[in-house]
Amino acid sequence: MQKKKLVLIGNGMAGVRAIEEVLKVSNEAFEITIFGSEPHPNYNRILLSKVLQGDTNVEDITLNDWNWYQENNITLYTGETVTSIDSVKKEVATNSGRVESYDELILATGSLPFILPIPGSDKKGVTAFRDIKDTDEMLQASQQYKKAAVIGGGLLGLEAARGLLNLGMDVSVIHLAPYLMERQLDPTAGKLLQNELEKQGMKFLLEKQTAEIVGDERVEGLSFKDGTFLEADLVVMAVGIKPNVQLAKEAGLNVNRGIVVNDYMQTDIPNIYAVGECAEHRGMVYGLVAPLYEQGKALAKAICGAEKVPYEGSVLSTQLKVSGVEVFSAGDFTEDEEKKAIKVFDEQDGIYKKLVLRGNQIVGAVLFGDSSDGNRLFSMIQKQEDVSDVAKVSILQPSGGNAGESLVASMSADDIICGCNGVTKGTIVEAIQKQGCSSVDEIKACTSASRSCGGCKPLVAEVLQHTLGADFDAAAQKEAICGCTTLSRDEVVEEIKAKGLSHTREVMNVLGWNNEEGCSKCRPALNYYLGMVNPTGYVDERESRFVNERMHANIQKDGTYSVVPRMYGGVTNAEDLRKIADVVDKYEIPLVKVTGGQRLDLFGVKKEDLPSVWEELDMPSGYAYGKSLRTVKTCVGEQFCRFGTQDSMGVGIALEKKFEGLWTPHKVKMAVSACPRSCAESGIKDIGFIGIDGGWEIYVGGNGGTHLRGGDLLYKVKTDEELMDITGAYLQYYRETANYLERTSAWIERMGLSHIQSVLDDAQTRRELNMRMDEALSTYRDPWKEIVESKKTKKELFETVVTS
């Protein structure tokens, strides 16, 4: 039977979730093609605020990696936008000139950020907060500018403000309403939230209407309609979104606010469906994750010809943490003549709870400071539960006011545990009883509970404990490396050593992976652990690496790549600069930027040009894309600076040459400063060295991201030889004991500085660690040179692989 052609326009959360549901119903029915305008595979937009915090990247928030598309025989075109739909010929055309036919078409074009139509909104330094591109723009602006204005005091605006505050910017939030998050909170909760955020350093200008964004080419400030002015060199618009319906309009689909659909997500043109933020169902357009996922289930049943289950709309709820403050709201929480409220306010502990009832039926709720009862109240609202026989105020007390009783004990099977993915308590209990799930990670793999924002993990753990009773093993609630296995990182590493395992697939087979193909989280981790355990005998599995490490360059938003050649210690010469200039001219590279790590970054290199660029540069890879040693930043040191006490450039170059190409659990950055003035910012690096009279201070565990962490003093040493010895042993101990993707700042807090010092204090242990480090370093080969010299690799990576 010939497969039908299914085309999805939009590679976001709603559309890809609909495809996942289609694959569950019938994984053989369709030949699937997906078009996405961004250069990335499907990622979790909810977690963009964590990317803004600087210590997470798009790979870490990826929901479906490149391998997932290949494993499910899905053709993915990234960085390519569908520009027209011909519903008669049943074809779509893209901005690259590609024409693709379809039997069934799904529109998941999402929404566009609303940009206020005010003078100056097109100036440099004005951005939305909607995707990775916007996030990157804010991160770059924070390195150069200091005053940020966020227009919009909703959830998105506050997340942007928190991120920019963490990046060291002076942040003011401008909001038209008299209190924050007016769509999710009532005035009392909104004011409480404002008080908490002001304590964190945010500033607020409420009931302010922006008249103009002032500046020449770049924004310099905001003027308001009341005549006041605010200085700003970055403006973030977070005032709302609007359905992206232009393509649908031009195709002749029925469009109101969104693309009008029925209960099966069908449009008014046969064989065309719409799902997500672009769809309008019964007059409603939804912007939260849970309704979009419910829509995907209804669509999948309909498109596969299975027994149809109509989507009948959603009662909205929001349960989240805003800058560490717990907030929940659901339903209709505004009281009036027909609806009355019950309120509990603990001013001392900052806890506020409000129920809204229509007669004896709960129709809405707001919780601030303690949202633990949110799921229970949401379930009561959804079921339109009659509470006429209950003391109303007791509903606002956990488990009806019975102290010590488990919250989940009072929840029914159809109560929602994971709001993002619509997973009920009953579904989780069934996974425990019938599929043998005994950990949060296993529940996530089986049911998708906690897969999106992760906020329900404590409640999932509570369901486990309540269901398993005496069989619940708290010690077994270790963090598995992913949902494909119950094994922790330490257990996997020990099994690799004990059984002499040598390939990722062998590990998965021998250790009984639930998913025999693994996933995007475990495959790169296993690849790292195998190489760490047996560096000289292990052959790196390119297909198990993230795309940047596979391609040995950083993919950019437009599908081009950036190239960072190695400049040891940040020192260069005329010959290398001429090479770079010649390559930039020859390959029409649009941007060359000096990085924070004292390197030159060449942006906009076409994928097919990468091998030629590397060959003509004839410089080693700077590993700017890798979980590896990135750069060693240096000051000019005693050779030129009148304050310098040590040869910082010489030591920096020696460090970078010794540890070049070293694969580590996460990226590692170093800096060497010749005196305590620390001009190379040594105090906030993974490893930092500060010259003092008669030697060096070595600092570890620093992090210059949004979660700023000053480095801890590890040792004082007298000689460069001691410095290298301690550094090698420290790095190897980190390599051998850290979880994959665990930064040194998190690792050192988990392990404890005193423990690490006690390990390194032993001279024999240091020697053994350095021996294993030297073994790992002996395998280094410059990847750019290897690719240039291998016709096979060049063909596989740069001629046949489609990533854009």
| Ranges assigned E (strand) in 376-422 | 416-418
**Is the separation of the CB atoms in 6 and 285 below 8 Å?**
no
575: in domain = no
Q: At what angle do helices 289-303 and 13-25 cross, to 10 degrees?
A: 40
Q: Kindly report, residue by residue over 476-521, the tens digit of the pLDDT.
A: 566 778 878 878 898 899 999 999 999 998 999 999 898 878 887 8
The rounded distance, in Å, linking the Cα atoms of 328 and 118 is 33
Closest CA to 468 of 441, 429, 426: 429
**Is the separation of the CB atoms in 265 and 282 below 8 Å?**
no
- 31 - beta bridge partners? 5
Residue 283 exposed, middle or buried by CB count within 10 Å (0-12, 13-18, 19+): exposed
The rounded distance, in Å, linking the Cα atoms of 44 and 426 is 26
pLDDT of amino acid 804 = 38
pLDDT classification of 453: cutoffs 50, 70, 90: low
Q: Is there a single domain that holds both residue 102 and residue 141?
A: no
Amino acid identity of 742? E
Q: Categorise residue 97: left if φ over 0, alpha if ψ from -120 to 50, beta otherwise.
A: left
Q: Is there a single domain that holds both residue 456 and residue 438?
A: yes
203: in domain = yes
pLDDT classification of 407: cutoffs 50, 70, 90: low
pLDDT of amino acid 400 = 41
pTM of the predicted model over 0.85: no
Range of the domain at 516: 489-545
Beta pairing, strands 668-673 & 629-634:
parallel
The rounded distance, in Å, linking the Cα atoms of 655 and 491 is 32
Give the contacts of 217 (CB within 8 A, at least 6 positions apart). 123, 124
589: in domain = no
Tokens of 457: 């993990």
pLDDT of amino acid 402 = 44
CB atoms within 10 A of CB 135: 23
Tokens of 774: 């030297």
| Average pLDDT in the chain | 89
pLDDT classification of 781: cutoffs 50, 70, 90: very high
**Is the separation of the CB atoms in 702 and 688 below 8 Å?**
yes
- 416 - beta bridge partners? 424
Among 311-320, 449-458, 662-671, the range of highest mean pLDDT: 662-671
328: in domain = no
The rounded distance, in Å, linking the Cα atoms of 547 and 530 is 19
| Ranges assigned E (strand) in 208-263 | 210-215, 219-224, 229-231, 234-237, 241-243, 259-261
462: in domain = yes
The rounded distance, in Å, linking the Cα atoms of 603 and 433 is 53
**Is the separation of the CB atoms in 153 and 177 below 8 Å?**
yes
675 is an annotated ligand-binding site residue: yes
Which string of b and e fits 636-656 if b means at least 16 CB within 10 Å? ebbeebeebbbbbbbbbbbbb
Q: Is there a single domain that holds both residue 121 and residue 224?
A: yes
Q: Is there a single domain that holds both residue 147 and residue 270?
A: no
pLDDT at residue 363 tops 60: yes
Percent of the chain with pLDDT over 90: 58
Give the contacts of 457 (CB within 8 A, at least 6 positions apart). 440, 450
Q: What string of DSSP letters covers 502-535?
A: -SHHHHHHHTT-SSTT--TTHHHHHHHHHHHHST
Tokens of 42: 């499907």
CB atoms within 10 A of CB 738: 22
Q: Categorise residue 326: left if φ over 0, alpha if ψ from -120 to 50, beta otherwise.
A: beta
The number of distinct structural domains making up the chain is 5
641 is an annotated ligand-binding site residue: yes
CB atoms within 10 A of CB 128: 20
The rounded distance, in Å, linking the Cα atoms of 298 and 590 is 46
What are the two backbone dihedrals, phi and then psi, of residue 705, each rounded to the nearest 5 degrees? -75, -155
373: in domain = no
The rounded distance, in Å, linking the Cα atoms of 405 and 257 is 46
Closest CA to 487 of 455, 525, 531, 542: 525
370: in domain = no
> For residue 287, what is the DSSP state?
-
Q: What is the 3-state secondary structure (H, E, C) of 52-121?
A: HCCCCCCCCCEEECHHHHHHCCEEEEECCCEEEEECCCCEEEECCCCEEECCEEEECCCEEECCCCCCCC
Q: Categorise residue 9: left if φ over 0, alpha if ψ from -120 to 50, beta otherwise.
A: beta
The rounded distance, in Å, linking the Cα atoms of 725 and 729 is 6
Question: Could you tell me which residue, 322 or 731, shows the higher pLDDT?
Answer: 731
**Is the separation of the CB atoms in 369 and 325 below 8 Å?**
yes
Q: CA 20 → CA 26, 52, 74, 597, distances in Å?
A: 10, 28, 11, 41
Q: Is there a single domain that holds both residue 171 and residue 229?
A: yes
Q: Is there a single domain that holds both residue 627 and residue 765?
A: yes
435: in domain = yes
Tokens of 776: 């790992």
Q: At what angle do helices 744-751 and 720-737 cross, to 10 degrees?
A: 80
Tokens of 676: 């305590």
Q: Is there a single domain that holds both residue 128 and residue 30?
A: no
pLDDT of amino acid 71 = 86
Weakest-pLDDT range from 215-219, 368-372, 694-698: 368-372
pLDDT of amino acid 55 = 55
Q: Kindly report, residue by residue over 653-702, the tens digit of the pLDDT.
A: 999 999 999 999 999 999 999 999 999 999 999 999 999 999 999 999 99
Q: Is there a single domain that holds both residue 130 and residue 160?
A: yes
CATH number at residue 742: 3.30.413.10
The rounded distance, in Å, linking the Cα atoms of 242 and 412 is 37
Weakest-pLDDT range from 189-193, 257-261, 593-597: 593-597
Tokens of 523: 């495959």
Structural element, H or E, at residue 273: strand 272-274
Q: Is there a single domain that holds both residue 634 and residue 776?
A: yes
Give the contacts of 758 (CB within 8 A, at least 6 positions apart). none
Closest CA to 162 of 43, 51, 44, 56: 51
pLDDT classification of 800: cutoffs 50, 70, 90: very low
Q: Kindly report, residue by residue over 84-94, the tens digit of the pLDDT.
A: 999 999 999 99
Question: Could you tell me which residue, 563 or 471, shows the higher pLDDT?
Answer: 563
pLDDT of amino acid 268 = 97
pLDDT at residue 747 tops 70: yes
Q: Sign of dihedral through CA atoms 164, 168, 174, 178?
A: positive
Q: Is there a single domain that holds both residue 191 and residue 228?
A: yes
Mean pLDDT of 171-178: 96
CATH number at residue 445: 1.10.10.1100
Mean pLDDT of 343-358: 88
CA angle 757, 759, 760 (to 5 degrees): 65
> For residue 591, what is the DSSP state?
E
The rounded distance, in Å, linking the Cα atoms of 148 and 162 is 11
**Is the separation of the CB atoms in 352 and 389 below 8 Å?**
no
280, 304, 328 - which closes a domain: 304
Residue 626 exposed, middle or buried by CB count within 10 Å (0-12, 13-18, 19+): buried
The rounded distance, in Å, linking the Cα atoms of 400 and 397 is 5
Q: Is there a single domain that holds both residue 522 and residue 644?
A: no
Tokens of 383: 């079921």
Q: Is there a single domain that holds both residue 233 and residue 294?
A: no
446 is an annotated ligand-binding site residue: no
453 is an annotated ligand-binding site residue: no
Mean pLDDT of 445-463: 76
Give the contacts of 578 (CB within 8 A, at least 6 positions apart). none
| Ranges assigned E (strand) in 566-694 | 591-594, 600-605, 629-634, 668-673, 687-692
Closest CA to 666 of 779, 746, 784: 746
CATH number at residue 173: 3.50.50.60
Closest CA to 209 of 219, 223, 191, 192: 223
